[in-house]
Amino acid sequence: MAYRFPVALLALVTVFAAFPVSASPVTFTIDSTQSQISLAIELTDGTPISTAQSPGSDTTTLFGTAQVDISPTSIQFFASGNGQFALQPEPQSPLADGTSGSAPAQYGLTIDIPGIGGGAGAVRQLVGDVTSSSLPLTGDSFDSTQLAMQFLTGSIAYNLNLLGTPVVGSADITFPVTNQASGGTLTVVGGQYVINIPILAVGEGDVDGITLLGVYTGQIVATAPVPEPTTAALVVAACCTWGVWRLRRDRRSEMQ
């Protein structure tokens, strides 16, 4: 009786070759030429109250790495603590404690609250992660609204005049905010994984009794070489090769 090899296993090899079989995360490099995040301050009713303090200082690029676990049907983002926000080319006001002066910062904003007052704000030492649970991967798409932006360090310094009263100081912004933008993708281009994450995240803070919203928008693009097939995949491939050879040999024997 001829040996019958399950041909469906051949398709399985292709899948294993393209995705890691183990749970070892893949290290992705954030592409600073394509990754940028803008910051705007709004009132709780959506009224924008911030503008760039110097040209483009409300937007910065990202660099660093991300740890991502990929399987044929899922994707998961792990905390790595290495999402870096680039400094502005010009110093921004105020200083880190809110006093007058300027120093390197990742964002520099001019604040104008209608009928109340305003001044300057600057964000410094911002380091973050994008994290998630294991998310279903359907084709090349995943639900990026299930991601969280976790700021591990960071503070905003402010020097304001509100209703004629100076308000000077700084506040930590180390809190997680849920991403609200959908459309995350994982593709393979030229032997590289490419992850694209659209960003819309809103954080809440309080300045002198006024609740303000920090609205982050933009995208993160990260790449990594597609790993070589794992040992398990190579074993499956070897079994497939042996099985095909055995099947052909048996068929030749039947014809003789």
Residue range 207-254, pLDDT digits in tens: 888 899 999 999 999 999 998 765 434 444 444 454 544 555 555 565
What is the predicted pLDDT for the residue at 11?
Answer: 46
Percent of the chain at pLDDT > 70 equals 80
SS3 letters for 69-138? EECCCEEEEECCCCEEECCCCCCECCCCCCCCCCECCCEEEEEEECCCEEEEEEEEEEEEEEECCCEECE
* Longest distance between any two alpha carbons in the chain, whole Å: 102
Residue count of the chain:
256
Residue range 125-178, pLDDT digits in tens: 999 999 999 999 999 999 999 999 988 899 999 999 999 999 999 999 877 899
CA proximity to 222, closest of 79, 26, 35, 59: 35
Averaged pLDDT for residues 193-206 = 94
Report whether 128 contacts 152 (CB < 8 A): yes
Averaged pLDDT for residues 72-97 = 95
Alpha-carbon torsion (137, 138, 140, 144), positive or negative: negative
Is the predicted pLDDT of residue 114 greater than 90, yes or no?
Answer: yes
> What band does 24 get if pLDDT is binned at 50, 70 and 90?
confident
Q: What are phi and psi of 233, to 5 degrees?
A: -65, -40
Averaged pLDDT for residues 167-194 = 94
Pairing of strands 135-136, 141-142: unpaired
Q: Which pTM value belongs to this model?
A: 0.81
Average pLDDT, the chain: 86
